[in-house]
A and B are shown apart, each in its own frame.
Chain A
Amino acid sequence: MDSALTVDRLHFAFTATFHYLFPQLTMGLALLIVWLKTLALKTGDEHYHRAARFWTKIFAINFAVGVVTGIPMEFQFGTNWSRFSKSAGGVIGQTLAMEGVYSFFLESSFLGLFIYGEKMLGPVGHWASAVLVWLGSWMSGYLIVLTDAWMQHPTGYIRGPGGEFGLASFWDLLLNPWGLWQYMHVMMGAVATGAFVMASTGAFYLIARRHEAYGRIFITTGVAGALFASLFLLATGDGQGRNVARYQPVTLAATEGLFTTARGAPLAIMGQPDTESGRLDNPLLLPNVLSFLTYRHWSAEVKGLSEYPRELWPDNVPLLYYSFHIMVGLGTIFIVIAAVCGVWLLRGRLFDSQPLLWILMLSFPFPYIANTAGWMTAELGRQPWLIYGLMRTAAGASPAVSAGNALFTLVGFMGIYVLLGILWLLLIYRELEHGPEADTAEAHR
């Protein structure tokens, strides 16, 4: 903790991890709210309107926390990572500025209308503003993922005389092959969070025998969304994994805990990477599966960590390995839960199945954990590079900011975010208690 670099990394990791708890829900809910509003418009059933209003209140709370914790992310590029910004701002500044210009204006303008203007806009206008909020938030996701994708797999740049990065091709930046897979994967992760939170809330109402009509709507919408998202998470995760194999092979070896090169490499389901002796302890292996997943060939050769010099290894192999395995393990569980609940739903027996309702109710923390572990996999996997293969993380921090000053603000953020988290819990709890039948004045303003 006495090096500024360590504090700067913790600073970004902490604020980014906390921040992303909120957008993952709002991006997922934005789509589900559009779906509820569409049903309301088509059927004219007041239940769907009220369901949408209820989730809009949850959305608004999370959106507010997402906004206030998001501004520090943009600022930190300059405050704590000035060498990186000075060098790469000409490229990633494009996507960051586009996010402000194209998504935030759209999102904030129409969210104001959506929350405050239901009566004024009429049903079609209100539905349209929900669609625009959804578009704004998903475009925001794309531009941020592209920013990260450029750091993972830089495209469309040139180097200036001082080594600084300049834009060489706008379209290569905007259509980065890494970004396309990563974006779809990230957005499906957000839908999974929104869907499981919705289904979990519905299950809570059914188990508690309150607001049961709404509980059934939430479960139906949530389970359908969760099944859709978790299947696409599998497909997009596969695409993303093959990008890692192609562009960051040493990261692939680390995430899979593969120390030695092998033909027909096995997939490690469990085990503890021991970087000191270069082996996976207590491994539970599926033979040949890693080769197949990576190269679609059961006996293909997959390179292990020992092929690469240590200074190219991600600097925290065990944490990277665990993050990846937690993400994949939870993703698999999501498919099972969503599929079983989907079948029971189609057979008309889900609402009476107490065990499944309990499983759904308790499921809500896990997509948050999976999304967090997923981002940890991406960012730990990028190490020791800030811009993969081109700029080391250690070279990007602000030379003028001392460890003591950085620690001061990290501690400050920790205190503020703890308070913010407590307030958030209190507000969400109150909204759940009020339930969708409490039509407050706010929804009609």
Chain B
Amino acid sequence: MIQVIWFCLVAVTIAGYVVLDGFDLGAGAIHLLIAKTPAERKSVLASIGPVWDGNEVWLLAGGGTLYFAFPALYASSFSGFYLPLMMVLWLLILRGVSIEFRNHLDSPVWTPLWDAGFCVSSLLLAVFYGAALGNVIRGVPLNATGDFFLPLWTNFSPGPQPGILDWYTVLIGVLALAALAMHGSLWVRYKTSGELSVRAGGVARGIWWALGFLTLASTAASFSLQRHILANFQDHPWGTVFPLLAIAGFVGMRLHGELAAFLSACAYLVGMLTSAAFGVFPYVLPSVPTPDFGLTVYNAAPAVYGLQVGLAWWIPGMALATGYSVFVYRRFAGKVS
């Protein structure tokens, strides 16, 4: 039972990461598209400047939580997804440096480099995260000791010899890019003013259609590739609240209110991620072609005492962390000048 609680907490932390870091990744992905002048680029950066680093901490908190709540999953997935994870690290380095060093090396020579680094790394990270989620939903070729190693690609088909990239994971990667670009556009529209805000709103309206198509396509693909999802929704119909949340968020993104539209994007992301988590449960890493080797919340968790102790410090700690975040966001409330 406690393993299920931790599954939910890890899912909440990852959803928190995607919602929070998601808007600054999305803002980065559309940075060069929407910000035309140096002043506008500064505004985009200023809209995430004080908070992006705190948002990224959700990744570290999520990683740490995953590590102690499901060490076998952490060990197996991190070594199996070795190459793409290392590339994610390189992209995170490029991105962090591009954002932070921009404040210190601001000249016509350096600034375009930082802007390009920020944009490209944000864009690729969104695709990588989506592809990673796609790999987890599709399943990986785990062996009896819970190990696997995936090449970057094989024949781009999610068959018996899968690679990190196949048509399905690429589809989920593109979906993630569209979703985060949408999320980021709505954030920039909410936090900036003038032409930049208007332009961000226009980009969001354009992406909305593509996002709708990609959401439908990837949902259909997920149901057909991973039969377990349909079974879960049939056995526990209450789980449809998660997709309904995503649908409500998707519709709400068209709202005129800038904050309401942004919050709808948050709801869409949370709804999509929780739907995926609900769909694969109790698996945390399904196995293909041998489903019995799959890692579940039960066989990937450590001794129960550690999980119980963990609850005692994790919940107050995250409450405190949420408090800091709220404090910081309120301090930097309003549009950037």
B-contacting residues of A (Cβ < 8 Å)? 57, 60-61, 64-65, 67-69, 71-72, 74-75, 77-80, 82-94, 96-102, 104-106, 108-113, 115-117, 120, 158, 160, 164-168, 170, 398-402, 405-406, 408-409, 412, 416, 420, 423, 426-427, 430-431, 442
* CB closest residue in chain A, given B65: A97
In the complex, are the beta carbons of A78 and B50 less than 8 A apart?
no
In the complex, are the beta carbons of A71 and B92 less than 8 A apart?
yes
Given the complex, which residues of A lie within 8 Å of B80, measured CB to CB? 400
* CB closest residue in chain B, given A434: B104
In the complex, are the beta carbons of B104 and A105 less than 8 A apart?
no
Which 5 pairs show the lowest CB-CB distances between chains A and B?
Answer: A89-B71, A93-B68, A78-B78, A90-B302, A166-B303
Q: Is B67 an interface residue (CB 8 A)?
A: yes
In the complex, are the beta carbons of A79 and B53 less than 8 A apart?
no
* CB closest residue in chain B, given A125: B331
Given the complex, which residues of B lie within 8 Å of A71, measured CB to CB? 59-60, 89, 92
In the complex, are the beta carbons of B54 and A112 less than 8 A apart?
yes
In the complex, are the beta carbons of A68 and B93 less than 8 A apart?
yes
Given the complex, which residues of B lie within 8 Å of A406, measured CB to CB? 82
Mind listing 19 A-B residue pairs with CB under 8 Å? A60-B103, A79-B78, A86-B71, A90-B71, A90-B302, A92-B68, A93-B64, A94-B309, A97-B64, A108-B57, A109-B321, A112-B328, A117-B331, A158-B303, A160-B302, A167-B306, A398-B147, A399-B147, A420-B97
A-contacting residues of B (Cβ < 8 Å)? 49-51, 53-54, 56-57, 59-65, 67-69, 71-72, 74-80, 82-83, 85-86, 89-90, 92-93, 96-97, 100-101, 103-105, 145-149, 302-303, 305-306, 309-310, 313-314, 317-318, 320-321, 324-325, 327-328, 331-332
Given the complex, which residues of B lie within 8 Å of A105, measured CB to CB? 54, 57, 61, 320-321, 324-325
Q: A101-B317, A105-B325, A409-B86 are in contact. List 15 more A-B contacts (CB 8 A).
A: A64-B96, A64-B100, A67-B56, A72-B89, A79-B79, A85-B75, A92-B68, A101-B313, A106-B320, A109-B327, A113-B50, A117-B50, A168-B305, A412-B86, A427-B101
Residue from A84, A100, A112 within 8 A of B63 (CB atoms): A100
In the complex, are the beta carbons of B306 and A90 less than 8 A apart?
yes
In the complex, are the beta carbons of A97 and B79 less than 8 A apart?
no
User: Main secondary structure on chain A at its contact with chain B?
Assistant: helix
Given the complex, which residues of B lie within 8 Å of A158, measured CB to CB? 303
Tell me, in angstroms, the Cα distance from A160 to B305 when the chains sit together.
Answer: 12
A166-B82 in contact given A86-B76, A98-B317 (Cβ < 8 Å): no
Tell me, in angstroms, the Cα distance from A167 to B312 when the chains sit together.
Answer: 14
Residue from B92, B303, B313 within 8 A of A90 (CB atoms): B303
Tell me, in angstroms, the Cα distance from A158 to B302 when the chains sit together.
Answer: 11
In the complex, are the beta carbons of B97 and A116 less than 8 A apart?
no
A82-B147 in contact given A64-B97, A74-B64, A442-B103 (Cβ < 8 Å): yes
In the complex, are the beta carbons of A112 and B78 less than 8 A apart?
no
In the complex, are the beta carbons of B306 and A94 less than 8 A apart?
yes
Residue from B68, B97, B100, B145 within 8 A of A97 (CB atoms): B68
Query: How many Å from the CB of B333 to the closest CB on chain A?
Result: 11
A97-B75 in contact given A64-B96, A86-B146, A112-B51 (Cβ < 8 Å): no
In the complex, are the beta carbons of A78 and B77 less than 8 A apart?
yes
In the complex, are the beta carbons of B79 and A400 less than 8 A apart?
yes
Given the complex, which residues of B lie within 8 Å of A91, measured CB to CB? 68, 302, 306
In the complex, are the beta carbons of A416 and B79 less than 8 A apart?
no
Tell me, in angstroms, the Cα distance from A105 to B53 when the chains sit together.
Answer: 9
Tell me, in angstroms, the Cα distance from A113 to B313 when the chains sit together.
Answer: 26
Residue from B57, B67, B328 within 8 A of A113 (CB atoms): B328
